[in-house]
Structure 1
Amino acid sequence: MLKPHFSAHSDELRKEARQLKKELQAIKQRKEESSKPAVDEVKEVDKKPTNEAVAEYLEGRKKYEELRKQKLKKGSNREEQTLALLNRFKSKLSSAITDAPEDDVEDLAEDDDKGWMGHVLQFDEQTRKVKDANMQDEDTFEIYDPRNPVNKRRREESKKIMKEKKAKR
């Protein structure tokens, strides 16, 4: 007898949820329709920038919007484009490495972000010493983990010894 009551109640709730979803979609559509004229107003404002900084910003924005539209979606074409960019970077890097010794003086005068490509990464040669656990030096640290069972046992033993000493007094 309870089940039909609950199922009827849940059916009512589902119908109410569907109705609310439809109402929300209708409200969203109204907002989208009302925002379209606002977008046109923004375009009119774009045509008449108030100062140079705003004009420069809008030009840069248009430039990147065009680049974003040109960018391919996921798929094999996008993978080919990425590999082409990688190959172009590799060739640019290899040419910068071969041209680096000649252009050292010119790199200081120009700021074209290509100077880092000509540098070769070098590491200081450090001899690898084998650490002996029995030898103490400045690089050796004592590791003490209170969760370790061995350390727990040691603590318990030391507590017993301390209790015995106190009992003897």
Structure 2
Amino acid sequence: MVTRDLTVLLSGFSGEIRKEFRQLKREMRAQEEARQEKAAEGDGQEDENSETEEERRNALFKAYRDEQRLYTEKKKTQLKKGSQREQQTLAALAKFQAKLKEVQEREPASPEKEGEEEEGSDRWLAHALHFEEQGPVLARDAANVNPEEAYDISDPRNAMNQRRRDRKRKSHHSERRH
């Protein structure tokens, strides 16, 4: 009888514990979702004027964060895959080609001293690459061997081949003795 009362009492507690557990789980899930939404909204919307303590102390870290912000902004403006992105890329290519042609017309390629180059100049665009032209290198492919060239098809019984072998053998022996 006591055990029956105890099991009823424990089952009542376990029911309450389960209810409390579910309630806590819901609250934690709601907090996590709120935190994720806040992080999603806050991505990239960091206050530009707010500097962390570390940024104030370390100039290198500050420069790093500034550059990181710059590239995150560029990434946001960059188009995703598709025809618009292709058009943007082709427009950038056309702009570069026009600049290249303009620099080449303005400054014909001339030999220059190595120390004259300025950091931000466009003189490198006018440079012409000259090299010795080499004929095509004909590589032999093992798969494309002429069947006639693949094997030595000389008959060892042939008189001409026998004489050739004899000459080689005699010259080889005479070299050894000397």
Report the TM-score, using the length of structure 1 for normalisation: 0.46
